[in-house]
Amino acid sequence: MMELGRNVWPYVLPFPVDVGQRRLVWKILQSKVGMGILARLNVEKPTYQKELIRKLPYSNKSIIEYLKLMVSAGIVEHGMERVRAKGKNVWVKWYKPTKFGKWLILFLKSPQEISEETVKETVEELFQIYSANIVEFCQKYNLDIEYFHQVLDEKFLEEWQMETPRIKPEVVVFGSAAIDLYGSTEKLPEYDETAYIEISNVYPGGMGANVAVALSRLKVPVAFIGKIGSDSAGRLLLENLRRNRINLSNLIIERGKSSLQTLILFGPKGERLILAIGLPNPAISISSPDEIDWRLLKPSKIVYIGEVFVEVASTIADFAKNLGKTVIYRPGTPYLKIGIEKIKDVLEHVNIFILNETGWIELKRNSKEKLSNTADLQKYGPETIILTRGDQGCETWTDKEHKSYSIPKSLTKKFKVVDPTGAGDSFSAALIKKLLERSSLEEAVRFAQIAAYITCSRLGASSAFPTLEEIMEIYG
């Protein structure tokens, strides 16, 4: 059925309701004269009667008779026009297809014969008619109009997903995709206070999707495994991932669910609040190992695990580690708030654990087991711990040494921080880029700091990620 649905003629023909008109239409379609006239009619401008008589191999009487039938059937409209011919003014008769006539003519032509402008106009007209009919039927038969909105969104998403490249990934990214709404207010609200928020920009985001996009900008073949809702936000998210040539063969489109949204709110002094919007039935992330196409992991070298439910993250990390992949875990603050006891089953299979300072504070605060310093995390499995500290740089711990990396002054002079939203995602992607090249941890961190700082100098997350060429101009 799906194959049939994809191969039907691209123009749907709405026949007239009137029985008499339909009989005339069938009579015209069953006649060589009628079909000959339809084939000669221009859909974009009037066709003159004398032109049809000159070009068609039928009698004048037959042609004129069928043109009258076409007018009665509502296929064409007609009129007279005064033109200059052979030194004198004469009246000539013209015929122009009605909307129904135009669709009928297009139905008889191959798509290659029709101009792009006519195709666009026809599709818009058809959509207007069918939309009006759908509204009428919903009211008459008590149907849920949201179903039709959902079907349209789903078809967009299915078609776009099928068009994405099936590249062999060097990195597989697990995580979430979300829409970032950027807003500003003259005053951040107090408790029980109303504040007007002006939404200035809408960007595709989500930590996992961001890392995948940032990797693609750095020319790393990457697959993203996650979920989006079957809504307009899902279209924006999928289009961004598709445009960045990411393998989306294991992206799950959850029917009837909402894509994640985040409000990034700026106050009058540049203060920033990040609020996750809890919509009903959100498409959050992979929730079961059964949803994963494990074959995608086999050609990869690195598996990145972001905001994934802990039980599933543990299974992914275990599977990837057994395949000999480098496993990077960066769960984000909400997952660190559940404490070390809940994530240690993931950490035992992890090579590199990345967290920011806020996440580290929350992890310590919410863990029953005592965590004195970040180095304590190594006993749970990770060979390398990376703590990012915003404009204070970052720190790394390995079994050999602890190192601190301040932000180079050359970066602070060259770039002004505008929006740090995607800094951690950009840092992680650039770090992975250098690890794939077998660079040292120090080289990878320096490269990642440049990427993160460039990202901070631009508004948005996904749209702010630098290209490889931009980083190399500074990295050298």
The model's pLDDT over 290-308, given as tens digits with 9 standing for 90+, comes to: 999 999 999 999 999 999 9
Model pTM above 0.75: yes
Q: CA 233 to CA 250: how far, in whole Å? A: 18
Q: Which domains does the chain have, with CATH numbers?
A: 8-143 (1.10.10.10), 153-189+203-475 (3.40.1190.20)
Mean pLDDT across the stretch 130-140? 85
pLDDT tens figures, 138-154: 888 898 887 887 788 77
- Six token digits for residue 371: 């965590």
pLDDT at 2 over 50: no
Scan for tokens 């290659």, then name that residue: 112
pLDDT tens figures, 184-215: 888 877 888 888 888 888 999 999 999 999 99
End-to-end alpha-carbon separation of the chain, Å?
56
Residue 456 CA: distances (Å) to CA of 450, 452, 463: 10, 6, 11
pLDDT at 182 over 70: yes
